Chain A
Amino acid sequence: MKSRALRIISGLGGTAALVALTPSIGFAQELTPDDVQVVLNNLWVFIAGILVFFMQAGFALVEAGLTRAKNVVNIFAKNMADAIVGILAFFATGYAFAFGSGGSKWLGSDNFFLGGFDDYSAFDGGLSPATTFFFQAVFAATAVTIASGAMAERTKFTAYLVFSVVMCAFIYPVVVHWTWGGGLIAQMSIGDAVYSDFAGSGIVHMVGGIAALMGAMFLGPRIGKYAADGTPRAIPGHNIPFAILGVFILWMGWFGFNPGSELAADQYVMSVAVNTMIAAAAGGLFSAITIWFKAGKPDVAMVGNGALAGLVAITAPCGTVDPLPAALIGGIGGIIVVYSVYFFDKIKIDDPVGAISVHGVCGIWGTLSIGLFAKYDDAFLGREDAGLFYGGGIDQLLMQAVMLLIIIAWVTITTAILFSVIKATIGLRVSAEEEIEGLDVLEHGLAGYSGDSVTAGS
């Protein structure tokens, strides 16, 4: 219990400290509008980063809802793990490889463990390294968690941990370095066309989707997914409410993902947000129509996938298109995702949640759509009317394609090596008994739903 005198002294001390500190916040001189803008920029990107972080909950819910109850602990454990491990890996080496102050066009360096800054939270008229790290780390966590859906219900937990570390420590940061970090791809051009990917349809979502594809391929399908004659069998998800809640949480998180990528608090944040909103809705609608026609009923899980497909697709072009093309881009994504899910089922790649289709295939579509629909300068393009439909010719489309091919090659090769090594050493897939019994008790020692009062724990 502090005495009254002691409280007065500590109050005075606190005020003295505040007065001593104020020169560094700029109150000693006048606070200019530029200073306020800088604070707003950092504040907005921070809040956007929080929204993106909460997408981890969205991913976890979608994946859990679309898989079986006996694996629900494992799903959440994998999502917990890739957030924890991914963020730490990005802190250790990922940020340095992506944005480090040193290095070459191939790989960044310096700033490992966020070291090497005079004052890493100083704004210096822009975004502080702290703000940049925060925002980019949650993006890295997003890229890595995409694969957990495609690898669900049969992946060894230890194998998934290794995958998460390598993705966030190296594979993903290199892609970032080549693009947002100003490296290899950022330095390429075809005519007047340079690459554009505003918030990462290609850089984040397609990368996650390719990793998901490679993971699913190396794992093989779940036991019972394919009948003896090769026809795919439905393995229904155990909790559709989870899945749709997850979609809504992801949708909301995307309002950080895309508008936050403006990296400033200005009017363009709102045009990006509007494009994002409209593309999501269009994606859901066109997905519903497509599955309604194909299967006779509006499969709500597919509609959810459609909204996500629209969101993934608009993630690249959101800074450069008008709202109506945004709807078209999202809607086409919603149609593509349905056919893509059918396709991967047919070629025996078991993707329990459609991650490859939503993030990989629609990520490719979104990135390419810039070549068709780009109108405004999104601060990447450096020019207006870059899209084919706006008189920009074919250069932008080609540049987008080149960018995608480079990234696809990089991720495919590195994840192939990674999964091969994991498979040959600690093993990638759980045993058949474990897969059939369910991963929860045998990998994690914990049942997901212990509401069975009669026999639980007895």
Chain B
Amino acid sequence: MKLITAIIKPFKLDEVKDALKAIGVTGMTVTEVRGFGRQGGHTETYRGAEYKIDFVPKVSLDVVVDDAVVGDVIDAIASAASSEKIGDGKIWVTDVERLVRIRTGEEGPQAV
């Protein structure tokens, strides 16, 4: 089992969610985060003083999936989240050691 984490632009969340549902992903967790990559920020003025906004609002999306579908899930997220502009985000994969469904006590791939 793998944990796929994607940092995406907030307005792309709906598209990504729909794309994942379409390929059979049954659950996900989202967090509102702020961040930057090579995108950089911009300068604004508040009551005459300049300040820089470096951290841009993003959404962090987590899904735990079977090893077999990792490639499909990454493709689905990448194509739905892409706007072909800087700041589109990143996707990374980490290993999941153990997975438990709370309600039934199921473990492993059945708990996905």
Chain A interface residues toward B at CB < 8 A? 223-224, 436-437, 441, 445-446, 452, 455, 457-458
Is B101 interfacial (CB 8 A cutoff)? no
Q: Are A457 and B52 in contact (CB under 8 A)?
A: yes
Q: Are A455 and B46 in contact (CB under 8 A)?
A: no
Is B44 interfacial (CB 8 A cutoff)? yes
Q: Are A455 and B34 in contact (CB under 8 A)?
A: yes
Point out the residues of chain B lying under 8 angstroms from A457, CB to CB: 51-53
B9 to chain A, nearest CB (A): 8
Q: Are B46 and A446 in contact (CB under 8 A)?
A: yes
Point out the residues of chain A lying under 8 angstroms from B10, CB to CB: 436
Q: Are B34 and A452 in contact (CB under 8 A)?
A: yes
In the complex, which of the residues B14, B46, B55 contacts A458, with contact meaning CB atoms closer than 8 Å? B55
Is B92 interfacial (CB 8 A cutoff)? no
B31 to chain A, nearest CB (A): 14
Q: Provided the pairs A224-B14, A436-B11 are in contact, do residues A458 and B45 lie with their beta carbons within 8 angstroms?
A: no
Q: Are A441 and B44 in contact (CB under 8 A)?
A: yes
Point out the residues of chain A lying under 8 angstroms from B67, CB to CB: none
Point out the residues of chain A lying under 8 angstroms from B46, CB to CB: 445-446
Please list 14 pairs of residues, one from A and one from B, whose beta carbons are closer than 8 Å in the complex, sorted by A's number: A223-B11, A224-B11, A224-B14, A436-B10, A436-B11, A441-B44, A441-B53, A445-B46, A446-B44, A452-B34, A455-B34, A455-B54, A455-B55, A458-B52
Interfacial residues of chain B within 44-89, with CB under 8 A of chain A in the complex: 44-46, 51-55
Point out the residues of chain A lying under 8 angstroms from B54, CB to CB: 455, 458
Interfacial residues of chain B within 1-25, with CB under 8 A of chain A in the complex: 10-11, 14
Point out the residues of chain A lying under 8 angstroms from B51, CB to CB: 457
CA–CA, A436 to B55, complex, Å?
Answer: 17
Residue of A nearest to B56 (CB): A437
Point out the residues of chain A lying under 8 angstroms from B44, CB to CB: 441, 445-446
Point out the residues of chain B lying under 8 angstroms from A224, CB to CB: 11, 14
CA–CA, A458 to B34, complex, Å?
Answer: 12
CA–CA, A455 to B55, complex, Å?
Answer: 6
Among A224, A452, A455, A458, residue most surrounded by chain B Cβ atoms (within 10 Å): A455
B35 to chain A, nearest CB (A): 9
Residue of B nearest to A450 (CB): B46
Point out the residues of chain B lying under 8 angstroms from A455, CB to CB: 34, 54-55
Q: Provided the pairs A455-B34, A455-B55, A457-B52 are in contact, do residues A445 and B45 lie with their beta carbons within 8 angstroms?
A: yes
Residue of B nearest to A435 (CB): B11
Point out the residues of chain B lying under 8 angstroms from A223, CB to CB: 11
Among B14, B44, B52, B54, residue most surrounded by chain A Cβ atoms (within 10 Å): B44
Point out the residues of chain B lying under 8 angstroms from A452, CB to CB: 34
A453 to chain B, nearest CB (A): 12
Residue of B nearest to A452 (CB): B34
Residue of A nearest to B10 (CB): A436
A407 to chain B, nearest CB (A): 40
B33 to chain A, nearest CB (A): 10
Point out the residues of chain B lying under 8 angstroms from A445, CB to CB: 44-46
Point out the residues of chain B lying under 8 angstroms from A446, CB to CB: 44, 46
CA–CA, A452 to B57, complex, Å?
Answer: 11
Residue of A nearest to B44 (CB): A445
B88 to chain A, nearest CB (A): 13
B49 to chain A, nearest CB (A): 9
Point out the residues of chain A lying under 8 angstroms from B53, CB to CB: 441, 457
CA–CA, A437 to B54, complex, Å?
Answer: 15
Given contacts A441-B53, A458-B55, 14 further A-B contacts (CB under 8 A): A223-B11, A224-B11, A436-B10, A436-B11, A437-B11, A445-B44, A445-B46, A446-B46, A455-B34, A455-B55, A457-B51, A457-B52, A457-B53, A458-B52
CA–CA, A49 to B53, complex, Å?
Answer: 42
CA–CA, A437 to B46, complex, Å?
Answer: 19
